[in-house]
Every structure is written in C-alpha cells, then in structure tokens.
Amino acid sequence: MEESKTFEELNIDEDILEAVRDLGYETATPIQISCIENLLKGYDLIGQSKTGTGKTAAFAIPMIELIDPDDRRMQGVVLCPTRELCMQSAEEIRKLLKYKPGIRVVSVYGGQPINYQISDMRKGFQIMTATPGRLLDHLRRHTLKLDQVQMVVLDEADEMLDMGFKEDIDLILSQMPEPRQTVLLSATMGEDVKAIAREFMEDPVEIRTSEDDHLTVDEISQEYFDVKAKMKTEALCRLLDLEMPERALIFCNTKKKAAEIAEELKSRDLPADALHGDLKQAQRDLIMRRFRSGDIKWLVATDVAARGLDIHGIDVVFNYDLPDEMEFYVHRIGRTGRAGKTGKSYTFIVGKEIEKLAQIQEYTGSKVTPRTLPTLQEIEAVHKNRLLQEVRQILKGGSPSLPSAGKYMADVEALIADGFDAKAVASALMAKLLYTPSADPLSKRPALIVSDSDSMVKLYFSVGRKQGVRVKDLVGLIAAKCGVPAASVGHIDILETFSYVDVPSSVASDVIGTLDGDTIKGFKLGVQMASSK
C-alpha cells in the first residue's frame, strides 16, 4: 500500500498550502507525494500514474517552490502536446499561485497570433506552458531566452514524442542550461520513451505509482457493444437517449467522422458539437469553453481531446471507433472517473475488432465486459418514467423550468365535455408522447448479427435541397407527425429535388400513409417506397 499524506506533511510553502486548501484537496495522491518529495530534493524524475491522479499539481507545486518571485525571467517550462492542455495546465498553476501574486504564468501555442504572445511575455513571467513547436518559434525569433530555466516538465511525454515532436524537444532541451531539473510524466510510458528521455536526464528517479498492474482506474466501468458498422450511430443515439448524460465525450478516429456524427446529432436537435484539428483555434477554444460550461453536453472529438483534458463531470466516454493505438484507449476513457470519481466507458466494436479489444485488455490489465444495446421498449420505459416524474413535478407546482399544470385546462375540459373520460384522455396523451414503433430495427432476433438493411427500408420523398429541405426538417416531420422517435430514423440523403430516408420497415407504411400528400415548407410532399433500382 502507498502511504498517504496530507499536503501539510510535505514541507511546502504556506501560501501554496492555503491555495491547495481552497481547491479542496485533502490528501496528496501517491504521484503527488513522490513528485513533491523528489523534485524538492532536486532530482530528475520519470513518473507514470493513472489518468486523473493529479499529475499537474504534482509537478506544479515543486516548480512554484523553486521559483524566485523577484526575478521576472522564465524559470519553469511545461511542454504539452496540445494547445488545450497548455491552457488547462496554466489555469491549474494559476490556481495554486492564488496567494503568490508575484509569480506569473504565460502560455504559448500555435494558432494564436505570435505578436499577442510576445507582448504578453514582455510583462514578465516566471512560468511558461507551451507546445514544443511554438516555443521553438519564439526561440528562433529571439523573443524568449532559456538561460534561467531551473525546471522543465514534459507532460504527456510519450505523446509528444509519438507526435513527432522528438526533434523539437531535442532542440529545446539541448538549449536548456545545466544544471536544471527535467521531469517526464504520463499515464502510459513505454521503455522506448524512457530510453529517449534518459538522454536528457541525470540519474532520474523512476516512479510508477500503482499498486496493481492496471493502466486504468477501477472507478471507470468498461463495457463494449458488438455492433454493425452501419448501426453505430443508431447505437450511439440509443445509449444517449437511455442515459441522457449531462456530459459525454464521443471519440472517433477521423476528423471527418467526428464532424459527421456531430452533424447527425445536431440535426436531431441533440446538444452536441465536434472538436477536431481542422477547426480554427478560436473555434476550438469556443467549443471547449461551451463544453466546460455545459452548453454543449455531448462532444464528438478526435484524439485531440484524448490526452490530459480535465473536464469536471464527464459521465460517459464513448469509443465510437476503437482507437488505432492501444494507449489511446487508456487516455480516452481516462477523461471520466477523475480524482476518485466514478465514470463509464462504452466501446463499439465491429466484427474482427473483438481481437483488437482483447489486445487492449491485455495491455491495460483490465476487463471490458460485453453488453447488449437497450431495446426500444426499454428506452420507452425510461422515457415513461422521466415523463411521469416531470408530470408529478408539474402537478406539484414544481419547477420554474416546467410549464404550469393549468395551461391546457380549457382544452382538457373541452375533451371531457365531448364525453371522453378524464383517465382515458391522460392515457392517450401519454401514448402520443411516448409512441415507439413496435418493431425494433436492432433487437428481437440476434439483431447484431442479422444484416441491418433488411429491417430498414428506403423511402422516396419528393422534396430536396431546392425546396430548402434539410435533414433536420425531415427527421422533425417524421417524429412529429408519425410519432417515430428521431433516433429511429435512419440515414437520410438529401438530393437536388428529392431525398431518400431510411426508416424501420415496421413504420414505413405508417409514414407513407401519414405524410404522402402532406406539405413541407409550403411544398406538396409525395412519399413512396424507393424503387430498388
């Protein structure tokens, strides 16, 4: 067992202790104990500890201890693989500096105007968080000097080397003064990375702070779903529908896929958006801010969001695609279950990927258990309970976010005056609100093996782009008029003057019967089975 210590026992400055108390940290985590003790003694260090175990404070506290606040030259450098991490680490360091106003932190990363950074640096600072590329830019422009650096930290060290930053990092470290302390941290670290790291380190202390051989924390439950490639989005919608997570991260392997899934979710009016490397820096910042604030609940991302990000309250991490590299599985799911909290991870696998998942389990030392997707009936039951709960709240005069019970009283009285029974009216309203088609495109038969195409049928709609029709409009129309849940509407292809919409076969004739002859955006709508040619 690891010993446990309070921060007070760690021989750190009272101003820092005060800030740590304000942050609500009680005991130091094992990596924090090792880092603080060893770095204060002046050693170099290679540290591996699981995701969410507080590695930032582990290096930041001793770094702050080292710094001379009266000298406004750069004394500490933190290299990070992504711009988001640069900003996040700087924020955490600033929180620890709450009672040390003399120490200033700046961040430099690509995508932000270099002149802005230069004027920010001119105000004087002691700590910099940086991506390696941008730090080198500043060195080449002579807008930055390394000669006073006492400590350099490579956070997510293995990732920076994997991303091809090795030459940049070599160049940066070779220009650092000696003696200085070099620190390498990550949740995953192969022998090769350690070997490379040793070139720049002097007799480093090596720490691996886990009592077991697992790379993932026990607080994260890990489950997988064996699905057909074509049904992944349906599966995703269904799980989101079932759980309604307050915050979820959905990882895809490509930027294109991430953008596509986010669009798909948005077209169904779900609170989702995408984060990937093709977006401009300002957009990335905005999306991160909106995700942190809860404005975006479900973020569909590439691996730019896999490393290091610390966002409170992520309930579920989805691997929509199984990651190509095993380490990424560890980092992706590590965005939940942080600082001792619990979290869930759901991984979709298609066919032979089960073998890759077995390798991942061997690598992480933890088990991923199989699960079947919820049926439409199960989802309906969940919706029903949610609805009943809200109705009870409305009846009790409940919450300001809900309508008042009196609003439709006159309409209900009119129905009753027509001779309908009040109970029957209430039940009919619930039936209307909760309607789900009887056949489930996914379940019943061993649905995950059956070809999915035979349970979905393609319908022809006589409107398209020219009529200003979007995916959202068609999903909305089908949901509103036919009672088919948005999540059950399949792929939609909007062409110039017509569109194709996949719907579960069991509701196809209902949809045709209801919508053929209807209007959309002022245009008369024709709906029929798409011909097979």
Quick check: 165 and 81 in contact, CB under 8 A?
Answer: yes
Neighbouring C-alpha atoms within 13 Å toward the C-beta of 401: 1
Binding ligand ADP (rule: CB under 6 A), the pick from 30, 52, 132, 337 is 52
Contact characters 371-400, ligand ADP, x per CB under 6 A: ------------------------------
Run of H or E including 523: strand 523-524
CB of 4 to ligand ADP, least distance (A): 10
User: b/e for 169-201, b at 16 or more Cβ within 10 A?
Assistant: beebbeebeeebbbbbbbbbbeeebbebbbebb
**35/56 Cα distance (integer angstroms):** 10
- Residue (267 or 336) nearer to ligand ADP, CB: 336
Alpha-helical regions (H) of 396-464? 409-417, 422-434
- Residue (48 or 455) nearer to ligand ADP, CB: 48
Stretch of 52-60, 205-213, 262-270, 418-426 contacting ligand ADP, by CB under 6 A: 52-60
- Residue (55 or 268) nearer to Mg ion, CB: 55
Quick check: 72 and 294 in contact, CB under 8 A?
Answer: no
The separation between the first and the last C-alpha atoms of the chain, rounded to the nearest angstrom, is 68
Strand-pair partners of 223: 346, 369
Pairing of strands 220-226, 205-208: unpaired
Q: Which does 204 bind (CB under 5 to 8 A by kind): Mg ion, ligand ADP, none?
A: none
Give the other-Cβ count within 10 Å of 244's Cβ.
13
Quick check: 153 and 55 in contact, CB under 8 A?
Answer: no
Angle subtended by helix axes 422-434 and 409-417, to nearest 10: 120
- Residue (47 or 483) nearer to ligand ADP, CB: 47
Does the footprint of ligand ADP cover residue 339 (CB under 6 A)? yes
Stretch of 45-53, 75-83, 108-116, 298-306 contacting ligand ADP, by CB under 6 A: 45-53
Contact characters 278-317, ligand ADP, x per CB under 6 A: ------------------------------x-x-------
Does the footprint of Mg ion cover residue 308 (CB under 5 A)? yes
Does the footprint of Mg ion cover residue 344 (CB under 5 A)? no
**Residue with nearest beta carbon to Mg ion:** 308
CB of 155 to Mg ion, least distance (A): 6
Site for Mg ion in 51-70 (CB under 5 A): 55
Binding ligand ADP (rule: CB under 6 A), the pick from 53, 82, 117, 336 is 53
Does the footprint of ligand ADP cover residue 57 (CB under 6 A)? yes
Interface residues with ligand ADP (CB under 6 A)? 25, 28-29, 32, 51-57, 308, 310, 338-339
Interface residues with Mg ion (CB under 5 A)? 55, 308
